[in-house]
A and B are shown apart, each in its own frame.
Chain A
Amino acid sequence: MRPFGLRWLAASSLLLVTVAGAATRPRYGGVLHVAVRVATLDPLEAGQPSGPAASNLLLLVYDTLVTLDDRGVPQPGLALSWQADASKQRWQFVLRRGVAFREGAPFTADLAAASLRAANPNWKVTSNGSAVVLQLDSPEPHLPAQLALARNAIVKRESGKILGTGPFVVTQWQAGKNLTLTARDDYWGGRPFVDSIEVELGKSFREQRMALDLKKSQLIELAPEQTRQVSDDHPVEASAPVELVALLFRRDPQSPVEAQLRHALALSIDRNTINRVLLQEAGEPSGSLLPNWMTGYDFLFPADADVARARQLRSEVLQPISWTLGYDANDPLTRILAERITLNARDAGLSMQLSNAPAVDLRVVRVPLESLDAHTALARVSAALGLSVKTSGDSPEDLYRAESAVLQSWRVVPLLHLRVAYGLGASVRNWNDKPDGSWDIPDLWLGADKP
């Protein structure tokens, strides 16, 4: 380069400083303050009942072999590539090189295999050079999506500590109280913009709202029914409807008559009014386990109330029946839903009593969908409900049949899918979340509060 070119470059670098000062580029630094209800440092506790925020926090500390993009398509994580044999029972994942755990130990195939074995005792996982090999008992065409689950994050368990390769390291942890994460300069995916994250735990929705209003927190969870009540000062980011709310019966119907009564109950519930009035349209009524945006076939499972048909089904059954409906005493949402469902059931001639005792006939449950991959999401939601699901193939038709079979068992009655919503402080920039509400914190940066 000639001297003029060097001078020019130096001059334009000075210009860069000026431009950066004008906040035209992302800024490094700052502390992101977060308030959530619960968090865990063990990926094996991800998902239900910890919820999506806990999974999001986990993935700040740990990486998975595979990640899913916005469309649920597997993308490289700690694994750069993968391939399966024709039967989809033997999978090989070639691992990324140059990755280290927090305390400098290199990420190896042996450690990855051990981590996956601990999370999935039924899997045969071995290492092979720089690759991990999984030999499964049955075809698993959606294994990459399974490996993207937070519970399958790669960890190194050592002296009671759980180490990860993620973009942040844990520098302080008081279970149930607070968590401090610090950005890793050596993260393989590039250092996050923020220096650290301070997480306050055990905060109710109301306390989180106060923390946001007082600018003590810049990222909080919002209760679904409160999403519309947040001040205009705070941006609200809501996911697609991703949290299943359903009625779960304690046991299978013991007779066709009992199944018919459960059918009558499903028809009696006015999901639209529940969503519109009680939830302020924070969700979408649904008659299926998976939301329509994920499958495209949700409409095949009716969600509209049909009280006349419910009464007819009820009238055809002579034997008396009275159900006890349970709810989570710590979750006001499930209580108000249970109250409304009780009224709907009575309108159809079904006898139902509310109870928060441990042993009830059925209860209102909330299950976050853990994956953007529909097959994996169905498997996980079924597992969380204690139901078995068997898909015979890889197509949407197979998925539909598997879900139909679960619903026809009348163990579960879907009600709606809720959006997961977060309130953000005015200084948060470049917030990105996927349809399932998962975060992209490493890309987030902090600017000055907007006036």
Chain B
Amino acid sequence: MKDSRSHAVYNARILIPAMPTRRLSPSRFAGCLLFLAMASLAAPAQSAGPLAGEAAQQLAAKIAAITGRMGISLEVSNRSSLSSPQVEEVRRTLQNALAAAGVRVSSEPVSARVGVTLSEDLQSYVWIGEIQRGDDAPTVVMVTQARPPDSRGKSDAIALTIRKTSLWSQSTRILDVAFWGSARMLVLDPANVTVYQFQERENRWQVEQTLPIAHARPWPRDLRGRLLLRNDQDHVFDAYLPGVLCRSSQNMPLSMSCAESDDPWPLYTDPYYLNAFFSTARNFFTGAVSPPILKNSAVPFFSAAPVPRDDTVHWLIAGLDGQVHLLDGRRDTLIARTGWGSDMVSVHSNCGSGWQVLASSNGGPTGDFIRAYEVPDREPAPVSLPVVFSGEITALWTSREYNTAVAVSHDVEKETYEAFRLTLACGQ
């Protein structure tokens, strides 16, 4: 969810943190990298974007101030975590910026040789120009630009692909979707749980049953709900809504009974149990969870994701305070500058460490997206390119088996809600 203007919320979900202005801000740079990545997929020859251009122009201006308007040779080498396509893009951008500054780049005999090294330190990309004129000692110029916190050494870490498969679309808000066997799909919305059956002959889902949700109190705004497939000897599914628990029967045709309840919602089951109490009249979890994930109670939150470690599990939560918290059982550490939105889940895959966090964005120039991260220490590292949605993410839940997630996006223009299944594919 981007902001309260576009969607009613009780609390601002995630604030976009103020960024330092002295250097190029990480958020702008991250946005630029995203743009670069998407642009490179769509049209590799496109521009590197305004930010790379800004740094290149700064460096070109410094070089031109020393060489004057004359011919130079230019060699660009990379000692940083930038990928080869990014380096090539920077080289082109720099060459254009030099040309704009009146410096001609030539392979013919020239008055100065310029070597540009793309390097990096702990916090920034460092672009270094060495200008050699005659036998004089080279003159060194530098520019820096903030590097996203998780980019260093991670250029090869983008090894996963999020596959987005459309499941269902309707005008009514979709709260959750679950599959019962291979031929039945359950869709939870504010009024019903609808059972769909796949008709092979017609190759489409067809309504099989509609189970109304009985509730005495009005739903809160920004309604959220969780559909949990049980399929045990008593019933097929539970539907958790604020202050209401609905339970189905076991056999077809299904029946469903709903009752007021403040039972915690099972966010995760085996092996990383987490049951969280949901505010009965709001859109968030109160912070009371079982088992406890912090010595004292956690802050109220919108979503949570387990981060398995060797012999323990830490938890990431998206708090109402607009921050992402890392809870290690004892300490609540704020994760700075994630750019994450309010929704996150953990999924299990055969890639990387085996566990990845899918997190929504906090909105931005490119719209809502979901990206996969690993959390090797305290800084989430992206391990996939973002998968973009046409509207804001209104729901993100993991499946009971952890191997998939369901995301719902709201397309305001089309006035539809669309549910997608998200799966992770390795090395693509």
Partner-B contacts on A (CB < 8 A)? 1-2, 4-5, 8-9, 12-13, 15-16, 19-20, 23-26, 70-73, 189-191, 193, 292-297, 299-300, 372, 374, 395-397, 400, 429-430, 432, 435, 443, 447
Contacts and interface: CB of A to CB of B under 8 A. Distances in A.
20 contacts: A4-B261, A4-B263, A8-B275, A13-B291, A25-B312, A25-B329, A26-B312, A71-B123, A189-B331, A193-B330, A292-B119, A295-B126, A299-B79, A299-B119, A300-B130, A395-B142, A395-B144, A429-B311, A430-B310, A432-B377
Contact of A73 (B123, B311, B328, B330): B123
Given A190-B331, A293-B122, A297-B128, A2 B262 contact: yes
B126 A16 contact: no
B142 A397 contact: yes
B117 A299 contact: yes
Contacts of B120: 296
Contact of A15 (B79, B80, B263, B273): B273
A443 B314 CA distance: 12
Interface in B136-155: 140-142, 144, 149
Nearest to B379: A70
Contacts, number: 115
Interface of B: 79-80, 117, 119-126, 128, 130, 140-142, 144, 149, 261-264, 271, 273, 275, 290-292, 295, 309-313, 328-331, 377-379
Contact of B291 (A2, A12, A397, A443): A12
B312 A297 contact: no
A447 B311 contact: yes
Given A2-B261, A12-B275, A395-B144, A296 B126 contact: yes
Contact of B312 (A2, A24, A300, A396): A24
Contacts of A20: 291
Contacts of B125: 296
Given A396-B142, A400-B142, A443-B328, A374 B121 contact: yes
B329 A26 contact: yes
Contact of A300 (B123, B128, B331): B128
B262 A5 contact: yes
B122 A71 contact: yes
Contact of B128 (A73, A296, A443): A296
Contacts of B117: 299
Contacts of B263: 4-5, 8
A432 B312 CA distance: 14
Please indicate which of the listed interface residues A8, A189, A296, A395 has the most CB atoms of chain B within 10 Å of its own CB: A296
Contacts of B141: 397
A72 B79 contact: no
B366 to A, nearest CB: 25
A70 B377 contact: yes
A19 B270 CA distance: 11
A369 to B, nearest CB: 12
Minimum-distance CB pairs A-B, first 8: A296-B126, A16-B291, A296-B119, A296-B121, A12-B290, A397-B142, A71-B122, A72-B122
A429 B142 CA distance: 42
A11 B310 CA distance: 27
Interface of B is mostly: loop
A400 B261 CA distance: 65
A19 B330 CA distance: 16
Contacts of A24: 271, 311-313
A72 B120 CA distance: 14
Contact of A16 (B142, B290, B310, B378): B290
Contacts of A2: 261-262
Contacts of A12: 273, 275, 290-291
Contacts of B271: 24
Contacts of B291: 12-13, 15-16, 19-20, 25
Nearest to A10: B290
A181 to B, nearest CB: 18
A293 B121 contact: yes
B331 A443 contact: yes
A71 B273 contact: no
Nearest to A447: B311
A379 B159 CA distance: 40
B290 A13 contact: yes
B121 A26 contact: no
Contacts of A5: 261-264
B126 A396 contact: yes
Nearest to B126: A296
Please indicate which of the listed interface residues A15, A72, A190, A294 has the most CB atoms of chain B within 10 Å of its own CB: A190
Given A12-B275, A294-B121, A296-B79, 11 more contacts: A9-B290, A12-B290, A24-B271, A25-B313, A26-B329, A191-B330, A294-B122, A296-B120, A395-B144, A396-B142, A400-B140
Contacts of A300: 128, 130, 140
A12 B273 CA distance: 10
A86 B141 CA distance: 26
B262 A429 contact: no
Contacts of B149: 71
A300 B311 CA distance: 44
Nearest to B378: A70
Contact of A26 (B79, B119, B264, B328): B328
A430 B144 contact: no
A374 B121 CA distance: 9
Contacts of A19: 273, 291
A430 B328 CA distance: 10
Contacts of B328: 26, 430, 443
A88 to B, nearest CB: 12
Contacts of B261: 2, 4-5
A357 to B, nearest CB: 37
A372 B121 CA distance: 11
A193 B328 CA distance: 11
Contact of B122 (A9, A372, A432): A372
A356 B286 CA distance: 68
A426 to B, nearest CB: 12
Given A26-B312, A26-B328, A300-B128, A8 B119 contact: no
A90 B147 CA distance: 29
Nearest to B333: A443
B312 A72 contact: no
B316 to A, nearest CB: 16
Please indicate which of the listed interface residues B124, B141, B330 has the most CB atoms of chain A within 10 Å of its own CB: B330
Nearest to A2: B262
A297 B120 CA distance: 8
A96 to B, nearest CB: 15
A188 B140 CA distance: 47
Contacts of A432: 377
A240 B345 CA distance: 33
A296 B141 CA distance: 13
Contacts of B121: 293-296, 374, 396
B270 to A, nearest CB: 10
